[in-house]
Structure 1
């Protein structure tokens, strides 16, 4: 009775998870399909944007002991193909070399319109960002960028085109993805981030999106940013592959181990499927995930080789499902052995 109850619960749990996953994947796929035509249109608009029509963008970077990442963050903004911007660094009493790195960077690139606002005491994030913005007060668009992130060279240009073509747009959230794709320490973090991005993409197709004022890796119209309300429900957009998370480097998984793990899990799934267990649902979930990451998720990883490497990591992402599948298969195998043993004993009794 307990075994039957466990199997029933596990089957319906996997069914529910797969159903929810299919809905989220379908919504995210619809977003990506729509984004293809929009991205082409925005690219044409961005190229045609000239100085009189170019909105000024103020990039607010909030730092606190980010000596490991701040240099890469500033360099990515400097490499931007959109030049009508300035940078305001809001430092939250960093005790490491963050301030020195910022100063050294400004000396090397003196043409960069860079302002520094150092807080004398710890305070809330949003008031500090607004005080930092007061150093410039030029931006028609305010871009709050996390100090642990880098941006693509076309980000500012495409974001400006997005705001120019949509007068109702008040906030644009950016899609983050981890740069350490096969790092052991960040596999679980990447899984959560991918799932969250799928969820946000689905929400962006529905009139449910809300955005918190002062949220990192988000662009705001000036009128929305300077308001006193902390939570608003403006016209909400979601832009893909515009920000790249850059956590500290960790040890990478040897490719040979990943391939061996993939082959082992494939064999294990085949064995489980022959026993007609709930692993069929897990298998369908994995196939859809591979299809999503390799084919549809073009705004996550642009390099085909990295996509293929990422699919190798999928068995690790679903370790909880595999753990359940292991238990399920063991129960089935035990039932199979007990049944066969009983049949053999019964057959021997008949022969006697």
Structure 2
């Protein structure tokens, strides 16, 4: 069995990270797996995937060149796993080639990308797709409006993450390490957290580690400068090594105004790191407040502050919540279990 995962790019994103996790476990299991990407060789996750010994083919050039390359490459695989609506569109002119393949399609995004001919290409794709997965119930329920497909044809599958054998040891240092892991854009609302750090003078109780980059970085840097937070708010930039991010963290903060199901939440919980998050998107379906994490309403920064203080002062409770988070993710989101579901579809 030869499997090729097809993506629009290997830039940093939730779908791309899920693909990377899936490829890693499939490679470890001995599958013959490769990647077809319409992105650039410089894409962040391409190096990570190639370092696993997995071949990545970048399909570039004009439309005719890309199609000829894709046809030539796809013929060598029995199973084609597509992870992007943009790939469905790109494959529309060569759909006869795909009719004779086992084609799996996973829909990762809650919102359709703003590109043309999406509905038309997906209508055509019904001729060759053998199995459709969606990473949330909302994707399954909205599939008729989205593409005109029957929701019964979509199987919900969780995004998978790696789970260590044991949860991390947290809350052992006098000052807690809090972190955010996201693209620095307005909807992530990191500026509000930095302002709250200054207003409530949290710098003597905790450190806020900001991982990620984006258009809001300059605004955050100015806030750090104005409020003299250089010792308590640290901007690390974009870091791809998950262990380098999470190994010394005690709490993950998510302050988004809108979300689907962020991979950072799964990654932190998988390591036994509790999450304090706004109650948006799929997050309230995972987090049972006070049991395996904490949630608060968007904009309710006073409740956020109370949650921070309670975790700082009750370390035993924080460690217990972290253990519950670890157990929950291990039961429902372990990458080995997710991969096993896909492997059944590949056969």
Give TM-score, length-normalised by structure 2.
0.30
The higher relative CO (CA closer than 8 Å, separation ≥ 6) is in: 1
Greater helix proportion: 1
Give TM-score, length-normalised by structure 1.
0.30
